[in-house]
Amino acid sequence: MNLFMLGIDGLPRWMWQQFADSGVMPHSAALLKTGTLVPMKSALPEVSSAAWASIVTGMNSGGHNVFGFTDLMDNSYTLGFTSSRTFRAKPFWAQPDAGPSLIMNVPQTYPAQPMNGMLVSGFVALDLKRAVHPPEELAWLEHINYAVDADMSLVEKGKQVFVDELRRVMSARCQALHHHWDREPWQNIMFVFTGTDRLNHYLWEDYEDTSSPFHQTFLDYYHEVDRQIGAILERLDDRTTLCAVSDHGFTRQRLSVNVNCLLAEAGFLRLKASPRPSYIDMLPETRAFAMDPGRIYLHRQGRYPNGCVTADEAESLMQQLTVFFENATVDGQPIASAVHRGREVYSGPFAHRAPDLIVMPAGDNALSGRMNLSALIEPTSINGKHTYEESSFFVRGEYLGAIPADMKVENVLDVVVPAPQQLKRAA
């Protein structure tokens, strides 16, 4: 096997090191001593769909066309949900010389597309029948009650029930990994734990509060993840490049701020009255709108059917919006830590579909792009949010590319599957 890529969705680098050092993750402690662990920056914005797409293609969103979980279809106000079909760049397993690959639970791969090997789709996946390639592998997965996604409605039944569900799903996924591992001489395997992200979203407050009755529950889940990592490590030999990545970091979330509410209050966004407002309800005089989480689009002529912002006006409007977001506060706290220009961060054949601005959330604020403008601060039981900084990148192997000082998700393949001229012996 050339490459084993392990994904641990939402595991901050500092947390992984902390758990390795404290005994929560003993297999990780041993693993981390055998290679290099560095912090890595996520996609902009720091959302799983875009980040995993960057990890597996080596491109930013302008190269693979996934900017978030949602997007507007070209020249329309119709909201679409990104899928494997939105992906317009080849992941590493689809490259001509990749060889047969086993790809399991990678986000943004639903519905399953034909490829050389076996693929079971990751989030957002709805129906196992459409999540498996080749289809003849479906029956065995159904037999073990493989779930394409944890039942998130169980959050309402309490944290213990929810975590039990995450464990159940993880167990079946790992069973499937080991079952299929030896069935073919795979050149590449990629396997992603996503329960960690779900745990972090709903139990982050319990991680931070050591007196919480669910604090140990949180640690125990990571201990189980680590046990599964140990089982994987036992099967790997020294000739296989091992890479372990997360797509973003995590931190506390206290507020969810509706950015479209802010834009409407400031006069940038105008909607006609609608019982279920959506982008189709934007009035022609709208100058800017938001999509999750913090993507800002100018309502440009040519790009949108009723767009009013000309190319000549765009620069001035972007400056105006940048100042607006840099100064915007909610409950006396700034909502933005930074505002990036789309044209400065995205490149590639789909850069024209990029947001014009990306607003990065400040402190413990999260940003939403809902079109329901009834509440600026939205109630939510989610208490952990993604961070752009401090995702994890670990690698060990013999033939690696140099790790950039400013490591980003789109650099992963440069390190683990370097072009021949980039090869260097690992230290």
Partner 1 sequence: MLNQCTSTPESIAESLLAGDLILNLTGFHLHFGCGIRCLRFDCGEFTISDSVNGQCRWSDALADALVAFGKQCPDRVVVVVDESFSALDELTSLLGHSGLAHQVCMLQSSCDADAFMDEADTEAVTERLRQLGYI
Positions in the binding site for partner 1 (CB under 8 A): 47, 65, 68-71, 73-76, 78, 80-83, 85-86, 123-124, 126, 149, 152-153, 155, 197-198, 201, 256, 292-293, 300-303, 307, 310-312, 314, 348-353, 366, 368-370, 380, 382, 385
Q: How far is the CB of 307 from partner 1 (least distance, A)?
A: 7
Residue 79 or 426 with smaller CB distance to partner 1: 79
Contact 386, 41 (CB under 8 A): no
Residue 156 or 238 with smaller CB distance to partner 1: 156
Query: 106 phi and psi, to 5 degrees?
Result: -80, 125
Q: How far is the CB of 189 from partner 1 (least distance, A)?
A: 26
Residue 73 or 427 with smaller CB distance to partner 1: 73
Other CB atoms closer than 10 Å to residue 223's CB: what's the count? 16
CA 83 to chain centre: 13
Q: How far is the CB of 164 from partner 1 (least distance, A)?
A: 17
Residue 69 or 325 with smaller CB distance to partner 1: 69
Q: CA torsion, points 218, 219, 223, 229, in degrees to nearest 10? A: 70
CA distance 33 to 339: 37
Residues contacting 43, CB < 8 A, separation 6+:
50, 51, 53, 54, 60, 61, 247, 248, 409, 410
Q: How far is the CB of 288 from partner 1 (least distance, A)?
A: 14
User: What is the SS3 assignment for 128?
Assistant: helix
CA distance 146 to 175: 9
Which two structure tokens, joined as six digits, stand for 134? 């080749």
Residue 306 or 327 with smaller CB distance to partner 1: 306
Q: In what order do the strands lie in the sheet with 132-133?
A: 36-40, 391-396, 241-245, 3-8, 188-193, 101-106, 117-121, 132-133
Q: How far is the CB of 65 from partner 1 (least distance, A)?
A: 7
Which two structure tokens, joined as six digits, stand for 93? 């397993």
Q: How far is the CB of 190 from partner 1 (least distance, A)?
A: 22
Does an H or E element contain 393, and which? strand 391-396
Beta bridge partners of 382: none
Alpha-carbon separation of residue 344 from 62, 360, 407 (angstroms): 11, 15, 17
Residue with tokens 């400056």: 319
Residue 322 or 383 with smaller CB distance to partner 1: 383
Q: How far is the CB of 163 from partner 1 (least distance, A)?
A: 15
Alpha-carbon separation of residue 246 from 33, 52, 218, 392 (angstroms): 18, 9, 18, 5
- Would you call the peptide bond into 91 cis, given omega within 30 degrees of 0 as the criterion? no
Contact 151, 166 (CB under 8 A): no
Which segments within 94-166 are labelled E, that is strand?
Answer: 101-106, 117-121, 132-133
Residue 216 or 310 with smaller CB distance to partner 1: 310
Residue 73 or 405 with smaller CB distance to partner 1: 73
- Is the alpha carbon torsion for 310, 312, 314, 316 positive or negative? negative
Q: How far is the CB of 269 from partner 1 (least distance, A)?
A: 17
Query: What's the DSSP call for residue 268?
Result: S
Q: How far is the CB of 242 from partner 1 (least distance, A)?
A: 29
Q: How far is the CB of 303 from partner 1 (least distance, A)?
A: 5
Residue 269 or 417 with smaller CB distance to partner 1: 269
Residue 74 or 184 with smaller CB distance to partner 1: 74
Residue 46 or 226 with smaller CB distance to partner 1: 46
Q: How far is the CB of 225 from partner 1 (least distance, A)?
A: 19
